Structure 1
Amino acid sequence: MVESKKGILNFYFKSNLLVRILIGLILGAIFGMIFQNATSAIEILKPFGDVFIRLLKMIMIPVIVCTLIVGASSISPAHLGKVGVKIIAFYMATSLCAIVIGLFVGSVLQPGIGLELAHIAGVAKEAKSPGLVEILLNIIPTNPFGSIANAEVLPTICFCLFFGIALAFCKDSESQAVRNAADNVYLFFEGMSSVMFKVVGWVMQYAPIGVFALIFIVFSKSGAEAFGPLANVTLSLYIGLALQISLVYCVACLFVGLNPLIFIRKVRPPMITAFVTRSSGATLPVSMETAEKDMGVPRSIYGFTLPVGATINMDGTTIYLGVCAIFIANVVGMPLDFAQQLTVVITALLASIGTAGVPGAGAIMLLMVLESVGLKVEAGSVIAIAYGMILGIDAILDMGRTSMNVVGDMMGAVFVAKSERELDEEIWNS
């Protein structure tokens, strides 16, 4: 009996996490439709869903602080010459385009319209919509520790970016004492990041159970009508990804005089690898080999641009954030106005700098975005249930967004190499 239990647990923890989450979604939907309006079952399962939401909120701010400081301070100012400034500007520009595309596609296709969840968990509190000037002013915290304690996302991000950039300059100081002190601070936050990665990993191991509970409640109350909006979210995301390639990357190729069809053909190996593995880090060796041998990008450029891209460039994820934020807002009956969409843009753009390597990064970033526009993901709320629906199909969404993240990194390397006149044209045209 003990060996049987051990075998079951071993199978659970060794199997693919995103597959388990998807299975949790499917089983939750099936059992929810079988047990329609099962009040007793809902009361039993509701705490399991609430625990998952509370765990995610528990790790959100520590992850922001640790990963953003490490991400911002890991790029040495000594390397931020012409190439460094150019690639960071390129990544920021394409990420901005990506979140705008995500919001545009979401606004046109309106995923979530028609699915009412208010009867499941009550009416959500109306999100406050500050003006443009207030949004921009609120980015800068008057008390950063107060912002961290109160889980205010944008001010926390702002302070961590300032802190991380200052730490990078201190690490590069001419004073040995300053360098030593800065290295100690960096190692502390790097260690904290490693600890948080472990905690995030533990929390995400619970995700299939939490998703099952949240999805069961949705389908027990709403029935099969919830399938349509989830399919619409998936369709919206992949349309957004296609638009990012055609409207951003192809135009970037044309801007520097390159044939975009050649880029699309040659980027397929890392793109497919990322789609299958769902890991930008695991795809990095394939990306580097493709950049050098198939695209003619010199090592001096791809050796810097691709690792930096894996850290701060998340085009696919930002499209996902735009689409999913609109889906959740529509489901809870509080469509995002212009000011809130602008806040989504700012949050996604700033948060992309440090969270690329975090397991479950998409789920954590979506939580940050929702919190920043006043859609509080509180245990037992309709927003939490809608959030759980997104997590349920995260395996399908993650394949597309990770693939696009890597394609964006490759485009950055090619763009900089061509603009610096260091791209090997013979290899590119071969």
Structure 2
Amino acid sequence: MASDKENGLMDIRIPAGWTLAGLVGGLLFGMALHGTPGFAVIEMIAAPIGSIWLDALQMTIIPLVASLLVLGISQMAQAASAGRVARHTISWIFALLVLGAISTCIFMPLLLEAFPIPEGAAGFLMTGDSATTSEVPGVGSFVTSLVAPNIIAAAAQTSMLPLTIFFALLALAIVRLPTGQRDTLLALFRALGNAMLVIIGWVLAVAPVGVFALAIGVAATGGGGAFATLGHYILTVTAMGTLVMLAGYVVAIVGGRIGPLAFTRAMLPAQAVALSTQSSLASLPAMLVSARRMGIRESTADFVLPLAVAIFRATSPAMNLAVAIYVAHLAGATLDPATLATGVLVALIISVGSVSLPGSISFVISVGPIALAMGVPVEPLALLVAVEMLPDIMRTIGNVTMDVAVTTAVDHDDDLREEPLQP
């Protein structure tokens, strides 16, 4: 899968097709042999293999999230200092990320209520020994939990909300340090991130084996319902990305004063590149062409679009929250306002740190912290990552559409037209 590589982290190649084959093969193998005399022995061998792979996948989450957040937020803070156009662009980005996250909190539960998860889906919760939900604090406890008095203890307890807030504040503090100290700390976190990516690259390189082992147990519990659940999951999560993409049209029409037909025609080539490459960075040349076709100033497009590709993934909070909400429904967890608010906060912060990663790694690193913060089991993510290559298509198309839409809105602001743009 192509990667949106922008902040210097190492490029990781993930065998997405083989991982999907491992999932399908494990489900078919488990369904075919379930009930036979030798199946108990097969399951006894497969269960620890899947469990070890799942634990290896989870062990990199906190250090990788820490490094990516520091790098991503520091990059955004430095971009904001580039002038009013940059700050205006970041304001649009922040507002749209919040809107996408809140929209998912509203529409995803309604969609799952209208189209319930198929029977047999409970098998996805049998992929680990700890597939249980945890208690989420009330409103008062939620507010006090935003700050951890002991960050080491918070990491040991995987308390993701105070951890993400701490590393976000750390990133902002690092930006304010003298140049030498700032560069030293950013180099440290960049090296830590690269090291964690090497480890998670090793783990995901054997994903076909781990997913195959986990899928055998799922097939024994869910049978053919597992395939129906996967299809249902892909469609519902992709629907939240589609809402973000459609919001891009609204932004361009209302904020950028671009006619709907003109925007649609101009966007088709860039969306086609996004569909074929699944990379916003690879789609950047086509996005620049789309901007010119709509009459956007070349100086605006040349400044805003690369900035958006570097720090903006419009679909991330919406689709990542959709995954967490889906798993919560699988587990029968209650999603009260405090739970959803926790998920929104973590999703917004985490989205800044995952813009440079391939879809499979971004899925684990982005959704894992959200699920942990919401008290949702993370074990199903080990199987859902195998089909991420399909929703990732909509992620990229939505991101590309929204990047160009934001560019039209920034270009339409008359107050910014006379300001020189910094490269």
TM-score (norm 2): 0.85
Determine whether 1:414 maps to 2:415.
no
Please state which structure has a larger fraction of its residues in helix: 1
Match of 2:329 in 1: 330
> Is the CA contact 1:106–1:323 (under 8 Å) kept in the aligned structure 2?
yes
Match of 1:222 in 2: 222
Question: How is 1:26-41 mapped onto 2 (pairs within 5 angstroms)?
Answer: 26-37=24-35, 38-41=39-42
Distance in structure 2 (CA, Å) of the matches to 1:139 and 1:301: 38
Distance in structure 2 (CA, Å) of the matches to 1:318 and 1:87: 18
> Is the CA contact 2:69–2:352 (under 8 Å) kept in the aligned structure 1?
yes
Give the 3 Å change call, closer, same or farther, for CA 302–160 of structure 1 in structure 2: farther
Match of 1:349 in 2: 348
Determine whether 1:374 maps to 2:375.
yes
Distance in structure 1 (CA, Å) of the matches to 2:127 and 2:54: 16
Match of 1:148 in 2: 155
Residues 59-89 of structure 1 show CA distances to partners (whole Å, capped at 9, x for unaligned) of 1011111111111112426734322222112
Match of 1:426 in 2: none
Distance in structure 2 (CA, Å) of the matches to 1:113 and 1:209: 26
Shift of 1:256: 4.0
Distance in structure 1 (CA, Å) of the matches to 2:196 and 2:318: 25
Q: SS at 1:358's partner residue?
A: coil
Shift of 1:325: 1.4
Q: SS at 2:60's partner residue?
A: helix
Determine whether 1:180 maps to 2:180.
yes
Q: SS at 1:315's partner residue?
A: coil
Distance in structure 2 (CA, Å) of the matches to 1:169 and 1:264: 42
Determine whether 1:17 maps to 2:11.
no
Unaligned runs of at least 5 residues, structure 1: 1-13, 171-177, 378-383, 424-430
Determine whether 1:395 maps to 2:397.
no
Determine whether 1:48 maps to 2:49.
yes
> What letter matches 1:106 in structure 2?
M
With 20-29 and 114-123 compared, the bigger mean Cα shift is at 114-123
Give the 3 Å change call, closer, same or farther, for CA 135–99 of structure 1 in structure 2: same
Distance in structure 2 (CA, Å) of the matches to 1:17 and 1:299: 38
> What letter matches 2:214 in structure 1?
L
Percent sequence identity is 25
> What letter matches 2:398 in structure 1?
M
> Is the CA contact 2:23–2:215 (under 8 Å) kept in the aligned structure 1?
yes
Give the 3 Å change call, closer, same or farther, for CA 198–403 of structure 1 in structure 2: farther
Distance in structure 2 (CA, Å) of the matches to 1:289 and 1:34: 52
With 120-129 and 28-37 compared, the bigger mean Cα shift is at 120-129
* Alignment RMSD: 2.6
Unaligned runs of at least 5 residues, structure 2: 1-11, 418-423
Match of 1:96 in 2: 98
Shift of 1:201: 2.0
Distance in structure 2 (CA, Å) of the matches to 1:229 and 1:312: 33
Q: SS at 1:116's partner residue?
A: helix
> Is the CA contact 2:14–2:201 (under 8 Å) kept in the aligned structure 1?
no
Aligned residues between the structures: 395
Give the 3 Å change call, closer, same or farther, for CA 214–420 of structure 1 in structure 2: farther
Distance in structure 1 (CA, Å) of the matches to 2:256 and 2:408: 9
Match of 1:174 in 2: none
> What letter matches 1:109 in structure 2?
L
Shift of 1:371: 0.6
> What letter matches 2:271 in structure 1?
M
Distance in structure 1 (CA, Å) of the matches to 2:155 and 2:310: 23
> What letter matches 1:34 in structure 2?
A
Shift of 1:416: 1.0
